[in-house]
Structure 1
Amino acid sequence: MSESFYAVLSDRAVIRVSGPDRVSFLQGLVSNNVETVSATKSGYGALLTPQGKFLFDFFVYQQDEESLLLESERGENGERAAELFKKLRMYKLRAKVELTDVTDSYDVIAVFGKDALANLFTDTTPGTTGRIANGIKAVDPRLSAMGARILLPRNELAEMAAIGASESDEESYHQLRVSLGLPNGSEELEIEKSILLENGFEELGGVDFKKGCYMGQELTARTKYRGLVRKRLLPISVEGPAPEAGTIIMNGYKEAGTIRSVHGNGGLALIRLERVSDDADLVAGDAKITVHVPGWVKLPETAA
């Protein structure tokens, strides 16, 4: 039996960026290289404060030869999408760009499981993109182990049966996501506080260090080249009562990290690398915490 599942992600928004300056407009704002996005390649990146702190992350797809689509978090009552739209409009200035919220026109779907990519792609390189019916399919641009992302026009979910995927739920998607160490926007990243390289953006293809200037580039580059990464967002296992987001993880009398999210028996935590070792006795509230380092994560040599 095929192990391919899909979940409609209700907390996702879609913003269309169209017009002749769409690429140059985003190129000066986004941490990744928007010029590489095409009909066959999608990307992942972030919009930062001028000081280099996290504001929004999103996937970037080419809708057609005139338009790009940004798939971002929607937030409760749509406030996060509205904030992103407002921020983009503020930076638009005289650029020949049109911004349109097209969230109500699309279902954003995650396809995951051992066979998730088998009926969708022959090339499973992250970001590989193609068409599916009247929509877009892409190998997750961060990590192919996460499966695929699909943007389908509303009311076309019958396409999921055609690729052999069984309906699942968002929580199953999030449990896989945290086990792989992938953040979900402001659920795990602190707005105006988090630094991209502490949260895996370099390894996950969310930063291009050769593209030139973008907002917040200076801190991001300095963090990399001066080796300033001392914390990392990492998967955890939880034994005992699930701690709330924000709970401090203790190693004896020393703070070892902070819980960012819990889904099922796992979650994500921002870990102080110098406070964690294989024999560390970590607790958060009344729960025992075990930290895992996914294969894609590259820790500093002193913390490896």
Structure 2
Amino acid sequence: MTTRIARLDSRALIRVSGPDARPFLHTLLTQDVETLTEGQLRFGALLSPPGRLLFDLFLWGGPDAIVLDVAADRRDALLQRLAMYKLRARVTVEPDDRPIFAAWGGDLPDGFVADPRTPALGGRAYGGAVAADATEADWQAHRLAVGVPDPATDAPADKTYPIEANFDLLNGIDFQKGCFVGQETTSRMKRRGAIKTRMLPIAFDGPTPVFGAEVLNGDLRAGEVLSGRDGAAMALLRLDRLDGALTVDGRPVEVRRPAWVPPAA
């Protein structure tokens, strides 16, 4: 298959440097930052104290800093949040204006790092002279086909638990690292198996229903539609109501559970 490359203008970078950069981020984020090596890419999040998703992000180990890959329209809010947590930590937190690229569909070009969520998503690169031959819409269509949600679009801030957005299945939470903001609720949900809803891709005929449109199992609410495109979307679905005939706006709906989602999850 031919590798395709797109520039992701919906994403932006934050550079976190200084002698306390790793311990500072390690105590905040769902991902292990202390063991992040140069050139390595990890997926994680910053949660609210009650454990809801505030910011999805990638962490890239730079030569002299940790670089965060975040939603562009949320970068300023994350900069403010990190400044609030900074206190006396010896860190510098600043915007990084290099572009972000995604590659998928074939071998990764030089300079790209594998996406840590699932190999099917390809990889990412930061900065450099990269020739894009696809659009961000092409990349989003591929992501949706793989069945991976986009938390920045599908999970309004402080409304969704990270496990509902499949962070536990996409290498977005290190349950062995110890404390992080929102850790108690997140670990309890995983430990007790109290996972009632998850984001899963759905297929249907016609245009995408409006965000929040009800998915029904007969007369029972089975979930709601999130972002999508004609014929396909992500939906937040109740796992106990997936059996049976599902509909949205009167149209039949098919749940397309990705291979990376275990049957019992």
> Which TM bucket (shorter chain)?
over 0.9
| Deviations 1:179-228, CA, capped at 9 Å, x for gaps | 22222223011211211112111111100111011100000000011110
2:89 corresponds in structure 1 to 95
Partner of 1:110: 102
**Residue of structure 2 equivalent to 1:69:** 67
User: Are residues 264 and 148 of structure 1, via their aligned partners in 2, closer, same or farther at CA, if it must alter by over 3 Å?
Assistant: farther
TM-score normalised over the length of structure 1:
0.84
Where do residues 178-193 of structure 1 align in structure 2 (5 Å cutoff)?
178-193=144-159
Which consecutive unaligned segments of at least 5 residues does structure 1 have?
121-131, 161-166
Quick check: 1:198–1:232 contact (8 Å CA) kept in 2? yes
Distance 2:227 2:83 in 1: 31
CA distance in 2: counterparts of 1:139 and 1:15, whole angstroms: 20
C-alpha contact 2:8 2:136 (8 A) present in aligned 1: yes
The answer (yes or no) to whether the contact 2:205–2:251 under 8 Å persists in 1 is yes
The aligned counterpart of 1:223 is 189
Judge conservation of contact 2:47–2:55 (CA < 8 Å) in 1: yes
1:52 counterpart SS class: coil
User: Residues 190-201 of structure 1: matches in 2 within 5 Å?
Assistant: 190-201=156-167
Between the two proteins, the alignment pairs up a number of residues equal to 265
1:140 pairs with one of 107, 115, 140? 115
Match of 1:164 in 2: none
CA contact (8 A) 2:205 2:230 kept: no
The question of whether the paired residues in 2 share the 8 Å contact of 1:175 and 1:266 is answered with no
**CA-CA distance at 1:299 after TM superposition:** 4.5
Structure 2 residue matching 1:89: 3-state secondary structure? helix
Using the TM superposition, give the Cα deviation of residue 40 of structure 1 relative to its aligned residue in structure 2, in angstroms.
4.0
What is the percentage of aligned positions where both structures have the same residue?
35
Contact 2:58/2:68, CA 8 A, preserved across alignment: yes
The answer to whether the 8 Å contact 1:198/1:231 transfers is: yes
Q: Is the contact between residue 5 and residue 116 of structure 1 (CA under 8 Å) also seen in structure 2?
A: no
Q: Is the 8 A contact 1:249 1:283 kept in 2?
A: yes
Larger deviation, residues 170-179 vs 214-223: 170-179
Q: Contact (CA 8 Å) 2:214, 2:225: kept in 1 or not?
A: yes
Which residue identity is paired with 1:270? L
List per-residue Cα deviations over 1:130-153 (Å, max 9, x = no partner).
xx3xxxx21001111000111114
Q: Deviations along 1:79-135, whole A, 9 cap, x unmatched?
A: x111011001110000000011012xx11011011x143x44xxxxxxxxxxx3xxx
1:272 aligns with 2:264: no
Structure 1 residue runs of 4+, over 4 Å off?
Answer: none
Asked if 1:282 corresponds to 2:246, the answer is yes
Task: Give the equivalent residue in structure 1 for 2:80.
Answer: 86
Q: Which residue of 1 aligns with 2:130?
A: 157
Residue 59 of structure 1 corresponds to 58
Aligned amino acid, residue 298 of structure 1: P
**Paired position in structure 1 for 2:262:** 298
Q: Secondary structure of the equivalent of 1:60? A: strand
Amino acid at match of 1:186: A
Pick aligned residue for 1:202 from 168, 193, 208 = 168
Letter in 1 for 2:118: L
C-alpha contact (below 8 Å) 2:208/2:232 kept by paired residues: no
SS in 2 for 1:246: coil
- CA RMSD, aligned part only? 1.5
TM-score, normalised with respect to structure 2: 0.95
- Separation in 1, partners of 2:13, 2:90: 20
In structure 2, C-alpha distance between the alignment counterparts of 1:257 and 1:32, rounded to whole Å: 29
